Structure 1
Amino acid sequence: MREFDLVVFDWDGTLMDSTGHIVEAIQQACRELDLPVPDRETASHVIGLRLDSALLRACPKVGSDRLPALVDAFRRHYQTNLDQVTLFEGTREILLAIRGSGVFVAIATGSSRAGLDRALAAAGIAELFDATRTVDECHSKPHPDMLLQLTARFGVESGRTLMVGDTSHDLLMAGNARCHGVGISHGAHAGEQLQHGQPLIIVHSLTELGAWLLPRLA
Structure 2
Amino acid sequence: MKPYKLVIFDWDGTLMNSEARIVDSIQIAARECGLPILSYDESKQIIGLSLDKAILGLYPDLSTEKIVAMSEAYTKGFLEDSQVGMQPFDGAEALLFNLTQQGIKLAVATGKSRKGLDNVLKETGFGVYFDITRTPVESASKPDPLMLQQILTELNLKVQDAVMVGDTTFDMEMAQNIGMDCIALSHGVHQMEVLAEYAPVAQLDSLQELNLWLMTP
- What TM-score bracket applies, with the shorter chain setting the length? over 0.9
Query: Would the aligned equivalents of 1:16 and 1:87 in 2 still touch at CA under 8 Å?
Result: yes
1:143-158 maps to which residues of 2 (within 5 A)? 143-158=144-159
Structure 1 residues 123-134: aligned runs within 5 Å:
123-134=124-135
In the other structure, the counterpart of 1:59 is 59
Letter in 2 for 1:45: Q
> Which consecutive unaligned segments of at least 5 residues does structure 2 have?
none
Instruction: Answer whether contact 1:35 1:62 (CA < 8 A) is retained.
Output: no
Match of 2:208 in 1: 207
Aligned residue in 1 for 2:101: 100
Which amino acid is the alignment partner of residue 68 of structure 1?
Answer: V
| 8 Å contact kept, 2:50–2:141 | yes
Equivalent residue for 1:28? 28
Higher alpha-carbon deviation: 168-177 or 82-91: 82-91
Percent identity of paired positions between Structure 1 and Structure 2: 38
- Measured in 2, the distance between the counterparts of 1:64 and 1:83 equals 29
The aligned counterpart of 1:74 is: 74
- Report the AA paired with residue 16 of structure 2: M
Moved more, 20-29 or 4-13: 20-29
- 3-state SS of 2:63 partner: helix
Separation of aligned partners in 2, 1:45 and 1:54: 9
CA contact (8 A) 2:24 2:82 kept: no
**Does the 8 Å CA contact 1:50/1:111 hold for their aligned counterparts?**
yes
Over the aligned positions, Cα root-mean-square deviation in angstroms equals: 1.6
C-alpha displacement of 1:66: 1.2
Query: What residue number does 2:142 align with?
Result: 141
Task: Tell whether 2:16 aligns with 1:16.
Answer: yes
CA distance in 2, matches of 1:13, 1:82: 18
Give the CA deviation at 1:20. Answer: 1.0
Residue 213 of structure 1 aligns to a residue whose secondary structure is: helix
C-alpha change, 1:39 and 1:197, in structure 2 (3 Å) is farther
Cα separation, partners in 2 of 1:196 and 1:40, compared to 1, 3 Å: farther
User: Which digits, 9 at most, give the CA deviation of each residue in 1:33-79, with x for residues without a partner?
Assistant: 22122222221111111101101111224333311111111112111
Answering whether residue 87 of structure 2 is matched by residue 86 of structure 1, we say yes
Give the stretch that moved more between structures: 62-71 or 127-136: 62-71
